[in-house]
A and B are shown apart, each in its own frame.
Chain A
């Protein structure tokens, strides 16, 4: 082999022998966390890492299903924490993937609104399986220049007026949104809970979605999908998270969002700790940190959601005038009742009937629908 080749080999060997460049010295542990896009911004993660010495490695997921799968991967030993929404948390609890947490170790727990201290989606049999984080709606997002007059109802995403310019999330739970619309516009179907649908109600909902399909430009799977769709003129109206709205407005796109008159589905997120985590100390430090009023306010404004800590409101207004009112952090109960929070559909309809469609059927129907 030529001298050059030997030299190259020597360089490579030496380079491999060096420890990784740029890896921060870890005084604490590392937390591998599964989170929604926008939940682990450097704005509040960097101070945490500095304060506690714990390192955070985020893994973004776009749907509760993904989060559940990730949490279970590798025998459940891969990730330490997950910001699970209501439709994932119960699955994780019953699958023994998460452990109980002690709220007394979280100083701000006593400042949480009553509805968020022990909600049914993270408290089972009196045991807490996580600490509530934030909550918010799935909003109707629209381009103010192209969609006039400003919409007030979800009907705009089911009408042919904006054919080929509509986008909705690529997520089987989206069926609940259609069911919610039918609940309000077709009471004769008798839908009482958009997550508990008997076969007839389910078929009607799927038919509505089938009618919607030719109007859809793309079923967005990643948050950036929707951002690109709206920024580049492919979509002018659709279902979104406030995160996309905020990003688009920051990028000077003419958009606005709202919760339409029929109400909206939404999510109530909980930070849960893996049953197999090796960094319990860091996990508790994070739970305490993310519940403090300042971080609650920062995250709420950034993502566009509502904090569970009632002390966050004044800080929100300090950071961004009027944001407390905008995100309903000061009058949560009335607004709270407008939102139909995600939960996992199961066969038990809760009223004695057991013929509701369970989530597997939702997933199959969704795949069938997309085509």
Chain B
């Protein structure tokens, strides 16, 4: 009896060791890659935020200082730009959520299989048409003599003056990130078992109630997952503001960071300012995890 118990315990501990070894083997490579390359690079970048650079020669000075952060703190422009970026990112997220939800709902629960397949392909296809070309095409639409004003004129409305303003940036960001919001929301909606909705109906709830109490809570992880994309992509992008923004008062965090590193050659300052999106996204990710978004990515 004791011998077989020992043998069993030995078997269990060998199994556990094998499991751990197995886990190590499987996870070792990917995590190793991330640790050695990505995380190390990130750490090095944020360490350099505490250094400075010689403005004339561009050489990094390895002198520890808080000066980058004090410049950020005291310069009102950096606060303005950060708030503007976060504000527009939130606006883009909400816009995309509102646009994506009915679309994804139709795709997941109303459309027939052929239509659903077609819609899925149509949602993915824009990702293959160059981001730059599509953003540039928006200039044609929003320009003073562009498609939008031409259409407004035809209907007798006054011309809009949207080109190169924050409104233009908001519209184009919402446009570009829309597929990234549709996909996770669609996946979440598609996963809702039909039986849930039937049960809800059997319990007496009409459409609106079912939507509020059953569908929306179940789709929320998908929306949050999509919002991770829309939020983070807006926080760091500099190309869209460069192409369709550019008037006074349209700088985004991405522009300031990009200008700092590619134009002023001031990597430490860029790294210091980059802590803003880092902190914002870090907080956002932690909240998203609570809401179950990671499973819905």
Binding site for B on A (CB under 8 A): 63, 65-66, 68-70, 72, 91, 94-96, 164, 170, 213-214, 216-222, 225, 228, 232-234, 344, 346, 358-360, 363-364, 367-368, 370-371
The residue from A63, A94, A225, A370 contacting B263, defined by CB atoms under 8 A apart: A63
Residue B145 lies at the interface, judged by CB distance under 8 Å to chain A: yes
- Chain B residues contacting A360 (CB-CB under 8 Å) are 55, 264, 266
In the complex, residue of chain B having the shortest beta-carbon distance to the beta carbon of A95: B57
A91 touches B57 (CB 8 A): yes
The answer to whether the Cβ of B251 comes within 8 Å of any Cβ in the partner chain is yes
- Specify which of B146, B246, B256, B266 lies most central, judged by the most chain A CB atoms within 10 Å of its CB: B246
What sequence of 0s and 1s flags, for each residue 128-148 of chain B, a beta carbon within 8 Å of any chain A beta carbon? 000000000001100111100
Partner of A367, one of B143, B161, B256, B261: B256
Least CB distance, A208 to chain B, in whole angstroms: 14
Which residues does chain A contribute within 8 Å of B139, judged by CB atoms?
228, 232
Given A170-B246, A216-B247, A368-B75, 7 extra CB contacts under 8 A: A65-B265, A69-B58, A232-B146, A233-B145, A346-B56, A359-B55, A370-B248
Kindly report which residue of chain A lies nearest to residue B144, judged by CB atoms.
A233
B66-117 contacts to A, CB under 8 A, are 71, 75, 77, 80
Please indicate which of the listed interface residues A96, A164, A220, A364 has the most CB atoms of chain B within 10 Å of its own CB: A364
| Smallest CB separation, B135 vs chain A (Å) | 13
Contact A164 B161 (CB under 8 A): yes
Q: How far is the CB of A83 from chain B (nearest CB, A)?
A: 17
A232 touching B143 in the complex, CB below 8 Å, given contacts A213-B248, A214-B248, A371-B248: yes
Contact of B264 with A65 in the complex, beta carbons under 8 Å: yes
- Report the count of interface residues on B (CB-CB < 8 A): 34
Question: Given A221-B242, A228-B139, A91–B164 Cβ distance below 8 Å?
Answer: no
Out of B77, B145, B246, which one reaches A218, CB within 8 Å? B246
> Which chain B residues border A69 with CB–CB below 8 Å?
58, 261-265
Q: Indicate if the CB atoms of A94 and B56 lie closer than 8 Å.
A: yes
Which residues of chain B have C-beta atoms less than 8 A from A216's C-beta? 247-248
Would you give 8 A-B contacts (Cβ < 8 Å), ordered by A? Answer: A66-B262, A68-B58, A68-B265, A164-B161, A220-B246, A363-B264, A370-B249, A371-B248
Within the complex, what minimum Cβ distance (angstroms) separates A231 from chain B? 8
* Cβ–Cβ < 8 Å partners of A344 in chain B: 56
Q: Would you call B163 and A234 a contact (CB within 8 A)?
A: yes
Tell me the bound Cα distance from A217 to B165 in angstroms: 9
Q: Once bound together, how far apart are the Cα atoms of A214 and B59, in whole Å?
A: 37
CA distance A95 to B246 in the complex (A): 31
A234 closest partner in B (C-beta) = B144
**Quick check: A368 and B77 within 8 Å, CB to CB?**
yes
B75 (CB) vs chain A CBs: closest residue? A368
Q: How far is the CA of A368 from the CA of B248 in the complex (A)?
A: 10
Nearest CB to that of B145 among chain A residues?
Answer: A233
Shortest Cβ-Cβ A-B pairs, 7 listed:
A232-B143, A233-B144, A371-B249, A65-B263, A233-B145, A95-B57, A218-B246
